[in-house]
Amino acid sequence: MLITMSDLQNNNGILKYLNDINERLKALELRIADLEARSSTQMNDKMAVFLTVPDSIRKSLFAVSRLTSCTADEVSEITGRHRSIENKYLNELYRGGWLERERKGKKIYYSLSKKMDSKSNEYWSAVEEVETKLDQLLG
């Protein structure tokens, strides 16, 4: 609808114009809500837990889950990142409660937190599930 200045000078023209805008906005909001409802995928709760880990360190968490107990050197072999970067990320995961660490001689070994193990290994299976989904998506 094209509106001119003379139409806006009378109150009826303004009200009609505003009502038209309001109706169009309502229609757009309904269409957007419908599109969002169709496109949102339901995420498994276990996967959602692992997706709360920042992207930058998630790869390290997956590597630890594969190796069960490992050093930063071993994780860096899997991720392809430098050992010092992995050491930093593993310490962040440790401080966040995701990992436990144990010193054996000069080396520090990381493993998934026992809190996570106690829930029938559901977190371990979540890691595998997320890895499988990512492999499918990324090829």
Q: pLDDT tens for residues 118-131?
A: 444 555 566 666 66
Residue ranges of the chain with per-residue pLDDT less than 50:
42-43, 117-120
Q: pLDDT tens for residues 91-106?
A: 988 888 889 999 999 9
Cα atoms in the Cβ-side hemisphere of radius 13 Å centred on 56:
8
Q: Is the pTM of this model over 0.85?
A: no
Helix axes 72-79, 83-95, angle to 10 degrees: 110
